[in-house]
Structure 1
Amino acid sequence: MKNKLIYILIVFFSLTSCEEYLDVNDNIDAPAKVDGYLYLAGVTQQYQNIYYDLRAIAPMTQMMGTTSYSNFASNYYNLGSDAGGEIWKMTYFSQGQNLENLINQSIAAEDWTLAGIGLAMKAFSWDLLTKVNGEVPMNDAFVSGLLQHDYDYQKDVYEQVRKWAYEAIEMLEKTDDQSYGDKLTNNDFIYGGNKEMWIKFSYAVIVRNLASLTNKTDFSGTYAQELITAAGKSFQSPSDDATVTVGAGSQSAPYSSYNNFWGTARGNLSYSYFQHDYAVQVFTGTVPEYEEATGDKIHILDGNPYYPVELADKQIITDTLSNELGHFDPRVTVKLATESNPTYLNLNNIDSVKTYQYYGGTFTGKTGPIGQAPSFYGRTLTSQYQGTVNDGIGRWIYRDDAPYILTTYSEIQFCLAETYWKIGQKAEAFEAFKRGVSADMQTTARYIRTGSEGNATGGDKITTGAFNSLASEYLNGPYAGGLPLADFSLSHIMMQKWVALYPWGAQEAWVDMRKYNYDIDYTGDVPSTGNGFVHGIVEQKKDTDPSKVYKGFYLAPAQVEGRKGSYYTQNEGSPSYRIRPRFNSEYMWNIPSLETIKPISGTADNYHTSIPWFVYPGDLPQ
């Protein structure tokens, strides 16, 4: 990638002057028109903002714990801050009018490929925006001269997202009258101007959009077939995954933002973020058993300090029988961090790799139930990129030169598997499930950068060869290909999807967890005060409940050991279901529009607990 990332953040104003010498329309520093392709590089690079906001979203999925965005980890009351507002900023400002200009100018010039790319990105960004924030200003978004922008309801935004995606496909299927030369290859940091890939990406957006609606009462009749059709036209293998290339360069980069947001050079993960104890339990097959009456773990006296409690009989991802063929999931060695093997020895030795130990923190603390979580780079220290012992440029996707992952073939296959499950086609669901797991192994392996043998200077603590060997065993083992169809469940689909999304896709994992209402035990349409939660307690399904999707997952106020906390009083007992609109725009100047949102006003203290339309089995209550 050339070091010429073009960050074009130009706001065009239509100005009329009475004096010729005051006319700015011919000013070379504020041109009347910028060629459409010149917007493309800057627009694509703004997807780094997703990783900004994952610091807020990932803790709510229990992928991460944090000492920084601790209010989000506590399911969150955050009025008065822009934290968690980067996706909002990206959609309305960083991409915003620049993306609108790219699309509109390209359509006017009949540059169909460029227009299609723009519409595909618009559909992706707005799908993400509404899933995170719920109701948003859409029809008024880029209308000039307005002092107040009315909000559109999520149902309408969802329909428009798919319309933009289908329009993108229509544009991309047209024949251009011109050759773009290197205008697209040099400025499209996702697919290099490959229109066939952008068509697949547009169908992927449709799949992701519809997959959040699987609990709608009309899903089978209204949405399922559309999703299945779109999945068939979307990504065909992990080589189709959508990622944004970054310039990198670490400390020698012209600008620090050339590096991945999660790399060591930018210091954003540092040691303020760490893997949650739930993530460790899922990846290592150590989801504990809880006593039904008390919610306490069953502690083993004089037992192994790494396994101090009884484990649930039914694990979903893996178990602790790592020496049995196909039981060890090698993704743990890459996606999670470990202090084991600090000098990077025997990285190609499978038996050595299997001995690594993993520890997770709590919602807001580094010390979890069995030990202290390391940083995502593998040390219980703030990240350093220099010195005798250091983290180098990072590891896996927590690396200066790692791309930003937008969506993958694996994710699409899990969306398809869930859809087949919901319409009663279990065999088809199982086949899509197996493709999803296999694809995530390939996507995970792609970003392995093995550390230097014997040197404590960062990198992954496994070779690609060892990973692929273990992956092959796992894919034929009892938790994937060898799983009996009779034992196959919705939990297998959704928890494997959670693992596949870890942690780059936390925003979609949060969609799924909200869609299943965090496995809260309630009756009726959705949880409510006194029906699933009260101020200090959330009633969640027990792991033994066959209808519980995320085995081992308990919210902070759940009555099990290691939880038993409480939310902010403003939550009125409920977990968060949306992130508020960005404070520095909406709560500064768009209050009248926020106040009109129903069923909970956007200015209410508990607006972040307002359940979105995609979660309701039917329409929003009035």
Structure 2
Amino acid sequence: MKKILLPFIMLGLFSFSITSCDDYLDVNKNVDAPDYVDGYLYLAGIIASYQDMYYDLRGIAPLAQMMGTSNSSYDNFAYHYYVPGSDAIGQNWRMVYWEQGMNLENLINQSVEAEDWTLAGIGYALKAYSWDLLTKQHADLPLTDAFVPGLLSHNYDYQKDIYPVVREWAYKAIEYLEMDDDHDYGNKISSTDFIYFGDKDKWIKFAYAVIVRNLASLSNKENFETAYAQELIDCAAKSFQSSEDDATATVWGGSSTASQSAYNNFWGTYRSNLSYTYFQHDYAVQVFTGTVPKYDEATGEKLPVENNEYHPYELAEKQIICDTMINEAGHYDPRVAVKLATTDDPYYENIDNADSIKARKYYGGSFGGTVGPIGTTPSFFGRTKSSAYTGNEHDGIGRWLYRDDAPYILMTCAEVKFCLAEAYWKLGQKDNAFSAFKEGIQADMDFTAKYIYEGKEGEATGGDKITTGVFTSLANEYVAGPYVEGLEMSDFSLSHIMMQKWVALYPWGAQEAWVDMRKYHYDIAYSGDYPSDGNGWDISKVDQKWDSDDSKVFKGLYLPPAQVSGRKITFDTKNNGSPCYRIRPRYNSEYMWNVPSLESLVPIPGTADDYQCSIPWFAYPGELPSSN
């Protein structure tokens, strides 16, 4: 087993260009094949594999209505349908079981045996993070059987049993990281740890953040307040406290001069993965610009407004993030100028002019095309054409997180604070929820500003269309304004917490945004414990709560086959009317050789046409039913 894994380790290490030739000369005690690798040598490759999260975002960001896509391999996920025989959105599966797989197991086991407590703690923290990510994406997984030598098939563990193991690993990480470790690692950890470079205190905070993330997904379960909330609150207090604690994996970049393409960020211009195939969804634009429309609840149609080309429809009276009164201080959210794209100011002539920036127009695409309800969306680089890094007018190395040398984002302080705010809200501690809510917004402002890459004034050569200074000034106005500090406590709602969290996760954290949408059942209107056929949907449409319903969490969110204009399509008949609740296991693994184990799953067998619609345990208010 060990012998076949070393090539990936080396690939990861070469990809981040850090170890010496001498290290490689020492790894083989067997002259014919590698049979042992020092624990620390695994670390770089394990961390490098987190770019796979961005591969899977190609399908999950459309599921969370953060992105639309015209990529024929992934647009089916925008419509909640699985294409049989496809490995699409199977990259995290591959990462956990193969790329990290025995590499991570060896790192942990060898480090524990050698009493390298710091390295063992980092390993357990990464293991907890990765398995939490994987179970939220796919639900039930082979865990107990995962790395048992000699097995030709692997039984599945249910999510309810996986969740506490994830937390157990995170606590084990904390235990090891807090132990006295007098080993002299030299630069063995600092030069292979591309997240915290060996900072034990930050790794401890990271492990607590994993626990917070894990528990936050259970916030709609009927026993959350008694079984999980206080643990979440306690762990949040020991976790990230500012954006300086954010967990990010360094990417070196280099664009065309890099010796390997993978030195560059997956979303950068050089690798052309975003290009003009992925684009901002119309829901994202509505949320970020305060233009969630009002619908006629009798017909589901939008209400036209005359003589207003940019806002041709009546807007909902209550916007959650911001509104269109941009000339009043605090009503404009400057994160739109960084996280979303606009074709305005193509030559970067007004990137330091706040009034010009606030007046820009934003358009979102549909689920599967760039033409949206009010216009055509640009690429994430601000042009209505595929990204390019050369030519008279081009996108350079990109901008913000869509940049060749931008880091991969794993978790942020803002996310932790919004998880904390939600927990306080569920406990009825509204004042504490409001304080955490405000801290979350400030943390996301800091996070957003950190990665601004300013364009050059007068040149159409890429970069962000706002300076860090102007962004910070507008961010301070927004935080002091009516949607944050000035928000009346009587108006403060769960929607404010969850939608601000959605904005903070945009688009790097679409996996967690999709968790939130699923645990609140996409705001489907149903009676009883959870929606089902005939009670929330039928074969032709999904019945969702109207935005006027106080219990609706994500205002403006409607699934593709909902009762409103622009959404009146249908799911594939194999869904039986249901939205997608999980991603199927990787086809080239499970459906090629582990079919009997899939067939045994309940409430819907893993081989059923609608297995992707099987509600995961975290989204049931109680326990998993034995049948559908």
TM-score range, shorter chain: over 0.9
Distance in 2, Cα, partners of 1:134 & 1:220:
23
2:242 is aligned to 237
* Aligned residue type for 1:566: T
Aligned equivalent of 2:200, options 195, 198, 212: 195
Distance in 2, Cα, partners of 1:115 & 1:73:
39
Whether 1:468 aligns to 2:472 is yes
Distance in 1, Cα, partners of 2:211 & 2:11:
28
1:5-404, aligned counterparts within 5 Å?
6-7=10-11, 26-28=29-31, 30-68=33-71, 69-301=74-306, 303-404=307-408
Aligned equivalent of 2:498, options 491, 494, 497: 494
1:379-528, aligned counterparts within 5 Å?
379-528=383-532
2:604 is aligned to 600
* Aligned residue type for 2:411: T
Distance in 2, Cα, partners of 1:177 & 1:430:
43
Distance in 2, Cα, partners of 1:563 & 1:358:
20
Q: Which runs of 4+ in 1 moved over 4 A?
A: none
Q: Deviation at 1:236?
A: 1.3
Pick closer, same or farther for the CA change 1:172–1:287 going to 2, 3 Å: same
Distance in 2, Cα, partners of 1:6 & 1:442:
35
Instruction: Tell me the secondary structure at the aligned position of residue 410 of structure 2.
Output: strand
Distance in 2, Cα, partners of 1:335 & 1:369:
20
Aligned equivalent of 2:623, options 595, 599, 619: 619
Q: Deviation at 1:8?
A: 5.6
Distance in 2, Cα, partners of 1:410 & 1:229:
17
Instruction: Tell me the secondary structure at the aligned position of residue 7 of structure 1.
Output: helix
Q: Deviation at 1:175?
A: 1.3
Q: Deviation at 1:6?
A: 4.2
* Aligned residue type for 1:583: Y
Pick closer, same or farther for the CA change 1:29–1:429 going to 2, 3 Å: farther
* Aligned residue type for 1:253: A
Distance in 1, Cα, partners of 2:142 & 2:297:
46
Distance in 1, Cα, partners of 2:489 & 2:382:
37
Q: Deviation at 1:384?
A: 0.4
Q: Deviation at 1:31?
A: 2.2
Distance in 2, Cα, partners of 1:466 & 1:492:
25
Q: Deviation at 1:5?
A: 8.9
Whether 1:546 aligns to 2:547 is no
Distance in 1, Cα, partners of 2:303 & 2:402:
36
Instruction: Tell me the secondary structure at the aligned position of residue 106 of structure 2.
Output: helix
Once the two structures are superposed, what CA deviation does each residue of 1:522-563 show, in whole Å capped at 9, x if it has no partner? 011111000000011100000000000000000000010111
Q: Deviation at 1:411?
A: 0.3
Distance in 2, Cα, partners of 1:60 & 1:458:
28
TM-score (structure 1 length as normaliser):
0.96
Distance in 1, Cα, partners of 2:532 & 2:232:
30
Q: Deviation at 1:27?
A: 3.4
Distance in 2, Cα, partners of 1:239 & 1:614:
30
Contact 1:26/1:32 (CA < 8 Å) preserved in 2? Answer: yes
Pick closer, same or farther for the CA change 1:456–1:8 going to 2, 3 Å: closer
Distance in 1, Cα, partners of 2:414 & 2:486:
19
**Between 578-587 and 77-86, the greater mean CA deviation after superposition:** 77-86
* Aligned residue type for 1:308: P
Distance in 2, Cα, partners of 1:32 & 1:61:
43
Contact 2:29/2:36 (CA < 8 Å) preserved in 1? Answer: no
Contact 1:260/1:402 (CA < 8 Å) preserved in 2? Answer: yes
Distance in 2, Cα, partners of 1:295 & 1:125:
41
2:16 is aligned to none
Contact 1:77/1:568 (CA < 8 Å) preserved in 2? Answer: no
Once the two structures are superposed, what CA deviation does each residue of 1:306-364 show, in whole Å capped at 9, x if it has no partner? 01010000000000000001100000000000000000012111011111110000000
Contact 1:277/1:369 (CA < 8 Å) preserved in 2? Answer: yes
1:19 is aligned to none
Instruction: Tell me the secondary structure at the aligned position of residue 406 of structure 1.
Output: strand
Q: Deviation at 1:600?
A: 0.4
* Aligned residue type for 2:353: N
Instruction: Tell me the secondary structure at the aligned position of residue 65 of structure 1.
Output: strand
Whether 1:579 aligns to 2:583 is yes
Pick closer, same or farther for the CA change 1:137–1:561 going to 2, 3 Å: same
Distance in 2, Cα, partners of 1:114 & 1:422:
37
Whether 1:556 aligns to 2:560 is yes
* Aligned residue type for 1:252: T
Instruction: Tell me the secondary structure at the aligned position of residue 183 of structure 1.
Output: coil
Distance in 2, Cα, partners of 1:554 & 1:442:
30
* Aligned residue type for 2:301: D
Pick closer, same or farther for the CA change 1:5–1:339 going to 2, 3 Å: farther
Distance in 1, Cα, partners of 2:341 & 2:30:
53
* Aligned residue type for 1:184: I
Distance in 1, Cα, partners of 2:11 & 2:241:
32
Instruction: Tell me the secondary structure at the aligned position of residue 619 of structure 2.
Output: coil
Contact 1:8/1:98 (CA < 8 Å) preserved in 2? Answer: no
2:20 is aligned to none
Q: Deviation at 1:30?
A: 2.4
Distance in 2, Cα, partners of 1:142 & 1:8:
21
Identity, in percent, stands at 67
Instruction: Tell me the secondary structure at the aligned position of residue 46 of structure 1.
Output: helix
Backbone CA RMSD of aligned residues: 1.4
Pick closer, same or farther for the CA change 1:260–1:476 going to 2, 3 Å: same
Contact 1:77/1:570 (CA < 8 Å) preserved in 2? Answer: no
Structure 2 regions of 5+ residues with no counterpart?
Answer: 1-7, 14-26
Contact 1:274/1:361 (CA < 8 Å) preserved in 2? Answer: yes
* Aligned residue type for 1:142: F
* Aligned residue type for 1:34: V
TM-score (structure 2 length as normaliser):
0.95
Q: Deviation at 1:247?
A: 1.8
Instruction: Tell me the secondary structure at the aligned position of residue 47 of structure 1.
Output: helix
Distance in 1, Cα, partners of 2:620 & 2:11:
39
Distance in 2, Cα, partners of 1:474 & 1:177:
48
